[in-house]
Structure 1
Amino acid sequence: MGRMSRTNGKNTWALFLLILAGIVLGGFIGYLAKDFSYLSWLNYGQKFGLSEPFVLNLGILVITFGINIKITMASIIGVIISIIVYRTI
Protein backbone atom coordinates (compact mmCIF):
# COMPACT_ATOMS: atom_id res chain seq x y z
CA MET A 1 0.00 0.00 0.00
CA GLY A 2 2.89 2.38 0.68
CA ARG A 3 4.15 1.90 -2.85
CA MET A 4 0.77 2.77 -4.34
CA SER A 5 0.50 6.06 -2.45
CA ARG A 6 4.00 7.03 -3.58
CA THR A 7 3.06 6.35 -7.21
CA ASN A 8 -0.14 8.37 -6.85
CA GLY A 9 1.86 11.27 -5.41
CA LYS A 10 4.26 11.16 -8.33
CA ASN A 11 1.37 11.11 -10.81
CA THR A 12 -0.26 14.05 -9.06
CA TRP A 13 2.96 16.07 -9.34
CA ALA A 14 3.32 15.08 -12.99
CA LEU A 15 -0.25 16.24 -13.66
CA PHE A 16 0.38 19.51 -11.81
CA LEU A 17 3.57 20.20 -13.77
CA LEU A 18 1.93 19.35 -17.09
CA ILE A 19 -1.02 21.63 -16.36
CA LEU A 20 1.35 24.42 -15.31
CA ALA A 21 3.33 23.96 -18.53
CA GLY A 22 0.07 24.01 -20.53
CA ILE A 23 -0.96 27.29 -18.90
CA VAL A 24 2.42 28.92 -19.52
CA LEU A 25 2.79 27.72 -23.11
CA GLY A 26 -0.84 28.52 -23.91
CA GLY A 27 -0.45 32.03 -22.51
CA PHE A 28 2.73 32.53 -24.51
CA ILE A 29 1.07 31.32 -27.72
CA GLY A 30 -1.94 33.56 -27.02
CA TYR A 31 0.38 36.54 -26.54
CA LEU A 32 2.16 35.80 -29.83
CA ALA A 33 -1.14 35.30 -31.68
CA LYS A 34 -2.69 38.63 -30.63
CA ASP A 35 -1.19 40.48 -33.62
CA PHE A 36 -2.77 38.14 -36.20
CA SER A 37 -6.42 38.96 -36.87
CA TYR A 38 -7.47 35.35 -37.50
CA LEU A 39 -5.75 34.12 -34.31
CA SER A 40 -6.52 37.06 -32.01
CA TRP A 41 -9.31 35.05 -30.33
CA LEU A 42 -6.59 32.95 -28.66
CA ASN A 43 -5.60 35.97 -26.54
CA TYR A 44 -9.19 36.68 -25.44
CA GLY A 45 -9.58 36.23 -21.73
CA GLN A 46 -10.00 37.71 -18.30
CA LYS A 47 -7.39 39.21 -15.97
CA PHE A 48 -7.88 39.24 -12.22
CA GLY A 49 -5.83 39.72 -9.09
CA LEU A 50 -4.49 42.60 -7.05
CA SER A 51 -4.20 45.71 -9.22
CA GLU A 52 -2.10 47.46 -6.56
CA PRO A 53 0.45 45.44 -4.60
CA PHE A 54 -0.10 45.05 -0.86
CA VAL A 55 2.92 46.40 1.06
CA LEU A 56 3.67 45.28 4.62
CA ASN A 57 6.23 47.57 6.26
CA LEU A 58 7.69 46.08 9.44
CA GLY A 59 10.32 48.75 9.99
CA ILE A 60 13.40 46.72 9.14
CA LEU A 61 11.65 44.51 6.62
CA VAL A 62 9.30 45.48 3.80
CA ILE A 63 7.26 42.72 2.17
CA THR A 64 5.27 43.31 -1.02
CA PHE A 65 2.45 40.96 -2.03
CA GLY A 66 0.88 40.98 -5.46
CA ILE A 67 -0.63 38.56 -7.93
CA ASN A 68 -2.21 38.94 -11.36
CA ILE A 69 -3.63 36.04 -13.32
CA LYS A 70 -4.76 36.21 -16.93
CA ILE A 71 -6.72 33.26 -18.25
CA THR A 72 -6.94 33.19 -22.04
CA MET A 73 -8.48 30.83 -24.57
CA ALA A 74 -4.99 29.61 -25.49
CA SER A 75 -4.17 28.77 -21.86
CA ILE A 76 -7.45 26.82 -21.54
CA ILE A 77 -6.56 24.88 -24.70
CA GLY A 78 -3.08 24.30 -23.22
CA VAL A 79 -4.61 22.84 -20.05
CA ILE A 80 -6.86 20.53 -22.07
CA ILE A 81 -3.90 19.32 -24.17
CA SER A 82 -1.80 18.76 -21.03
CA ILE A 83 -4.57 16.64 -19.47
CA ILE A 84 -4.80 14.59 -22.68
CA VAL A 85 -1.00 14.12 -22.65
CA TYR A 86 -1.14 13.07 -18.98
CA ARG A 87 -3.78 10.44 -19.70
CA THR A 88 -1.74 8.96 -22.56
CA ILE A 89 1.46 8.71 -20.48
Structure 2
Amino acid sequence: MKKNFFFLFYLLAGIIVGSLLANLCAGVPFLSWLAYSGSIGFAAGDPACLDLIVFKLYFGFSIGVSVAQIICIALAMFIYNRTRVR
Protein backbone atom coordinates (compact mmCIF):
# COMPACT_ATOMS: atom_id res chain seq x y z
CA MET A 1 0.00 0.00 0.00
CA LYS A 2 2.81 2.37 0.90
CA LYS A 3 4.62 1.67 -2.40
CA ASN A 4 1.45 2.44 -4.37
CA PHE A 5 1.05 5.74 -2.54
CA PHE A 6 4.62 6.79 -3.32
CA PHE A 7 4.26 5.72 -6.95
CA LEU A 8 1.09 7.79 -7.30
CA PHE A 9 2.77 10.73 -5.56
CA TYR A 10 5.74 10.68 -7.94
CA LEU A 11 3.45 10.30 -10.95
CA LEU A 12 1.24 13.25 -9.96
CA ALA A 13 4.27 15.34 -9.08
CA GLY A 14 5.73 14.68 -12.54
CA ILE A 15 2.47 15.68 -14.21
CA ILE A 16 2.10 18.88 -12.19
CA VAL A 17 5.73 19.97 -12.50
CA GLY A 18 5.67 19.19 -16.24
CA SER A 19 2.54 21.26 -16.72
CA LEU A 20 4.05 24.16 -14.80
CA LEU A 21 7.29 23.90 -16.78
CA ALA A 22 5.37 23.87 -20.08
CA ASN A 23 3.45 27.01 -19.10
CA LEU A 24 6.62 28.80 -18.03
CA CYS A 25 8.53 27.87 -21.19
CA ALA A 26 5.75 28.79 -23.62
CA GLY A 27 6.93 32.41 -23.86
CA VAL A 28 10.66 31.69 -24.12
CA PRO A 29 11.66 31.39 -27.80
CA PHE A 30 14.34 28.70 -27.48
CA LEU A 31 12.34 26.64 -24.93
CA SER A 32 8.93 26.90 -26.57
CA TRP A 33 9.25 23.33 -27.89
CA LEU A 34 8.67 22.12 -24.31
CA ALA A 35 5.19 23.62 -24.41
CA TYR A 36 4.23 21.76 -27.60
CA SER A 37 1.22 19.66 -26.73
CA GLY A 38 -1.34 17.44 -28.31
CA SER A 39 -4.69 16.23 -27.14
CA ILE A 40 -6.62 13.07 -27.69
CA GLY A 41 -10.18 12.22 -26.85
CA PHE A 42 -13.67 12.06 -28.16
CA ALA A 43 -16.29 14.78 -28.30
CA ALA A 44 -14.01 17.32 -26.66
CA GLY A 45 -15.51 20.38 -28.35
CA ASP A 46 -19.08 19.09 -28.66
CA PRO A 47 -19.79 16.35 -26.12
CA ALA A 48 -22.47 13.73 -26.69
CA CYS A 49 -25.72 14.54 -24.93
CA LEU A 50 -28.25 12.15 -23.42
CA ASP A 51 -31.45 14.15 -22.97
CA LEU A 52 -33.93 12.47 -20.62
CA ILE A 53 -36.27 15.49 -20.35
CA VAL A 54 -35.76 15.66 -16.57
CA PHE A 55 -32.01 16.07 -16.88
CA LYS A 56 -29.31 16.15 -19.53
CA LEU A 57 -26.17 14.08 -19.30
CA TYR A 58 -23.12 15.05 -21.35
CA PHE A 59 -20.33 12.63 -22.23
CA GLY A 60 -16.88 13.73 -23.33
CA PHE A 61 -13.25 12.96 -22.62
CA SER A 62 -10.09 14.77 -23.58
CA ILE A 63 -6.51 14.57 -22.36
CA GLY A 64 -3.66 16.87 -23.29
CA VAL A 65 0.01 16.04 -22.89
CA SER A 66 2.99 18.31 -23.49
CA VAL A 67 6.63 17.47 -24.14
CA ALA A 68 7.61 18.88 -20.74
CA GLN A 69 5.08 16.61 -19.01
CA ILE A 70 6.44 13.52 -20.76
CA ILE A 71 10.00 14.41 -19.74
CA CYS A 72 8.98 15.15 -16.13
CA ILE A 73 6.94 11.94 -15.83
CA ALA A 74 9.90 9.91 -17.12
CA LEU A 75 12.21 11.71 -14.68
CA ALA A 76 9.77 11.09 -11.81
CA MET A 77 9.61 7.36 -12.62
CA PHE A 78 13.42 7.22 -12.72
CA ILE A 79 13.63 8.95 -9.32
CA TYR A 80 10.94 6.63 -7.93
CA ASN A 81 12.90 3.56 -9.04
CA ARG A 82 16.06 4.95 -7.42
CA THR A 83 14.43 5.88 -4.11
CA ARG A 84 11.97 3.04 -3.49
CA VAL A 85 12.66 0.60 -0.70
CA ARG A 86 12.93 -2.95 -1.97
TM-score band (shorter)?
Answer: 0.7 to 0.9
User: 2: CA distance between counterparts of 1:68 and 1:25?
Assistant: 20
The equivalent of 1:4 in structure 2 is none
Choose from 13, 25, 28 the match for 2:20: 28
Calculate percent identity across the aligned residue pairs.
30
- Deviation of 1:36 (Å): 0.5
- Deviation of 1:10 (Å): 3.1
What is the TM-score normalised by the length of structure 2?
A: 0.75
- Deviation of 1:73 (Å): 0.9
Structure 1 runs of 4+ aligned residues shifted over 4 Å read: none
In the TM superposition, 1:49-60 aligns within 5 A as: 49-50=41-42, 51=44, 52-60=46-54
Pick closer, same or farther for the CA change 1:61–1:10 going to 2, 3 Å: farther
| Structure 1, unaligned runs of 5 or more | 1-8
Pick closer, same or farther for the CA change 1:55–1:28 going to 2, 3 Å: farther
| Structure 2, unaligned runs of 5 or more | none
Please provide the CA RMSD for this pair: 1.8
Alignment of 1:78 with 2:76, yes or no, is no
